[in-house]
Structures are given as C-alpha cells and as structure tokens.
Homo-oligomer: A and B are copies of this chain.
Amino acid sequence: MDHGSDILLSLFIVFVAAQVGAEIAQRLKLPGVVGEIVAGCIVGPSLLGWIAPSEPLDVLAEIGVVLLLFAVGLETRLADMRRVGRSAFAVGVLGVIVPFALGSLWAHGSGFDWAKSLFVAAAFVATSAGITARVLQELNVLQREESRVILGAAVIDDILAMLLLGVVTALQSGAELRLGHLALVLVEAVGFVVVIGLVGARVMRRASNLIDAPINPLSPLTIVLALCLGLASAATQFGLAAIIGAFLAGMIASETRQRETIEHQTRPLLALLTPFFFVVTGSKVDLAQLASVDALLTLALITAIAIVSKLIGGFLGALPLGRRGALIVGVGMIPRGEVGVVVASLGLAAGVFPPRTYALIVAMSLLTSIVTPPLLALLFREKGRSTSL
C-alpha cells in the first residue's frame, strides 16, 4: 500500500512539474516542451530528488512518446510523405554519415581505439523524432514541407542507426561482420515500413466502416489505439524504435473517414501522458558527473560536434527546399533525446566506455533536445514573417 502511494505521488509530481514548466516556458515565448524537460532536471535525482527513476515511470514515458508520434502520424498523409521521399532520404542518409564521421574522429582523438570510437560515434547518429515532433505540433506547422521532410528522414535515420549499431556492436567483440545478416536486418526493417505504409493505408481506407462496428461508443479510437500499440510493439521486433511503429499506425489511421474524431479524442491522451516522456527525459541528466570545468568543456565540445554535424547533414540533404528550408530541416534533426541515451546505456553495459563518457553522451543527447525547440520556433517564426512580407 505504501508502495502504491509512492508511485501515485511520483505521478502527481511529474505531471504538475510538467504543467508548471510548460506554462513558464510558454510565458517566456519558448516551446512548452523545453519547460517540461527542464522541470524534469529540477525534480529529478540530480537536484531536488522528488522523483526517482522507476520502471513504471519509464513505461509511462514510453506510452507518452508512442502516443505523441501516433498523433503526429495522424496529421501526416501518406501522399504528402511520398512527395518528399527523395529529400527525406537524402537528409536521413547524410544526417547519419556526417555525425558518425565527426563523432568517431572526436572519440579516436580523445583516446579510444577505432572499434570503441565507432561505438561512441553511434550515439551521435540517431535523431529522436519525439522532441521535434512535439515542437512542430506546438507551432502548428506539421503540414509544412519541412516538417514532412523531417518526419520522413527520422524514419530513414532510425533504420540506418539500427544497422549501424549492429555493425559497431559486432566490431567490439572482434566478431566477423556478417554482411548477409546485416542485409537481412535491413530488408526486414525497410520491408516493415513499406508494407505497413502502403498495404496498411490501403486496408484502412476500406476499413472505415469496420472500425465503427463494435458496440463500444469509442470504438474508432479503441481500435486505432490497439493498432498503435500493436505496431509500436511490432516495430521493436524488427529492430526499429517503437515510435516508428506508432508513427506508421497514425499515418495509416489518418486514411480513415474517422480521422478528425480520432485526432480530437487523442488530444486528452497526449495531455495526460506525453508530459511523462519529457519530464522523465529531463530527470535522467546526472548533473554531478558534469561538475568540473574539464567535463563541462568536453560536454560543450561534443554537443557542438553533435549539433553541427547533424545540421550539416540535414542542411545538405534538404538543399532542394531552399536555404532557409534546409536550415529548418537541419535544426529539426538535431535532437538525439532518448536514442542517444539508449546507445550510451548499451555502451556502458558492454564495458565499451567508462561512466564519465556515459554521462557526457547522455548530457549531450539531452542538451541537443533542449536547444532544438527554441531554435526551431525562432526559424519558423522568421520564416512565417518573411513569407508574409
């Protein structure tokens, strides 16, 4: 019983911290999500210690980001995604190559052997679409071409990052690279995305009557939520992030007649659950590990590398959108968020690098998540202004 009351108290603290943080951030003309992440830093173990990391909180955070990407998918039409396919592909590929190259150069320069350097560099690679998606949603620009390129690139980016992680993990053990196996992994992941995206959309277009059939008055919603959880879970089976599956589920659900109802009913779910993702993300920064001038300088350096490398990759890939548009895409790809944290955890668990490198990578991942939202807001606001002139 005491335990139950502890977890309810944590839920209350996380939820209220998120609301207060978002409110303050928005009054300061910053995206609400920045406030939520910072609130997480503050109530987390590093500072106030009001919440402790726990499995239930992680699961709620996961459900929150899954629902967020589902909602973003709901606002994304497959036809529009296809139109930006080429740019998204270029952004995804270049956005992996440049950070991986610069990341491994830094790691090797700071004393890791090449095999380990490549592992460290893998943490520089994967964009976390959650943060950017929320900012795009807050700014109400999900329908813009740049937003579509970012979301498409995030899917491609995730596939490449997964492959890369497979390669660098194999390199650590000195095991021979099994190219056949990697090819299979690639085919599976691409196959999952393509089959769900194309076949799923066609099925959903015809299923509009079917999802109204159950007695449950909220049945369109419950059926697509089941689809969302199912595809999120299936995506992880194919080695992809759960949010990729959720995004695809939202995208194909948006082909149904009931799209607007579903969109409307999803909003309260986001209001309750996404704050858990952002506050928990913020609470994972271990400020103590960074409490030295040396650590802070290194952090500044690797954060700069992470930002600049992704910016260059994204910018070059999106140049067909014009320079301002390419800049927006580049910035939108910056956040590493929880993906960097996952890679760092794997590296720590495998003994590839020491706790300090772990803390640095986690802090870098979160810093990229904190700087992106205000930059993105600024760029979209300026773009809006220059367009309206």
Residues of A within 8 A of B (CB): 1, 4-5, 7-9, 11-12, 15-16, 19, 22-23, 26-27, 32, 54-56, 58-60, 62-63, 66, 214-216, 218, 221-223, 225-226, 229-230, 232-233, 236-237, 242, 265-269, 271-272, 342, 346
Contacts and interface: CB of A to CB of B under 8 A. Distances in A.
Q: How many copies does the complex hold?
A: 2
A237 B272 contact: no
Given A9-B233, A12-B230, 18 more contacts: A4-B62, A4-B242, A5-B236, A7-B59, A7-B62, A8-B236, A11-B63, A12-B233, A19-B222, A22-B215, A23-B214, A27-B215, A55-B55, A56-B56, A56-B58, A265-B267, A265-B271, A268-B269
Contacts of A11: 63, 229, 233
A11 B26 CA distance: 33
Output the residue of A60, A63, A222 with the most chain B CB within 10 A: A222
Contacts of A56: 55-56, 58-60
18 contacts: A1-B236, A5-B236, A5-B242, A8-B229, A12-B233, A15-B222, A16-B229, A16-B230, A19-B216, A19-B222, A23-B214, A32-B215, A55-B55, A55-B56, A218-B267, A218-B271, A225-B272, A265-B271
B15 A225 contact: yes
Contact of A268 (B58, B229, B265): B265
B269 A26 contact: no
Main SS of chain A's interface residues?
A: helix
A82 to B, nearest CB: 28
Nearest to A62: B4
A250 to B, nearest CB: 15
A342 B215 CA distance: 33
Contact of A242 (B8, B23, B215, B269): B8
Nearest to A262: B268
Contacts of A267: 218, 265, 268
